Amino acid sequence: MTLLPSCHDVQTHLTEYLEGALPFHRRLGIGVHLLLCRVCSGVLRGLQALPWVAKASLKAPETAPEEARRALADVQALLRKGSR
Ligand SMILES: [Zn+2]
């Protein structure tokens, strides 16, 4: 058994590493590996960005209510014209 985990081992356990679900010696090995390995630290950054991407994708439909509000204002303006 080597002191540092392999790239495959690190990437397999990255989610647990982020959640703090691994025992101390495993976290230490993965942490040192992440400091030394650009590939695995890149994968880690990708995982950390995921919640932000998910939030951003949920935010996108917020443009729709603005369009609906404008459409409603147009309809109300037409109705006001029509009632005179
Ligand atoms: Zn690696």
Q: What is the pLDDT of residues 49-65, one digit of tens each?
A: 887 766 666 665 555 67
Distance from the alpha carbon of residue 8 to the mean position of ligand 1, in angstroms: 7
Distance from the alpha carbon of residue 9 to the mean position of ligand 1, in angstroms: 8
What pLDDT was estimated at residue 81? Answer: 86
Whole-number Å distance between alpha carbons of 69 and 75? 10
Which CATH number applies to 7-59? 1.10.10
- Least confident piece of the model among 8-12, 55-59, 75-79: 55-59
Distance from the alpha carbon of residue 55 to the mean position of ligand 1, in angstroms: 28
What pLDDT was estimated at residue 72? Answer: 83
Distance from the alpha carbon of residue 11 to the mean position of ligand 1, in angstroms: 7
SS3 content of the chain, % helix, strand, coil (to 5): 85, 0, 15
- pLDDT, mean of residues 6-22: 93
Distance from the alpha carbon of residue 43 to the mean position of ligand 1, in angstroms: 9
Domain ranges of the chain: 7-59
Distance from the alpha carbon of residue 57 to the mean position of ligand 1, in angstroms: 29
> Between 59 and 77, where is the model more confident?
77
Whole-number Å distance between alpha carbons of 5 and 30? 7
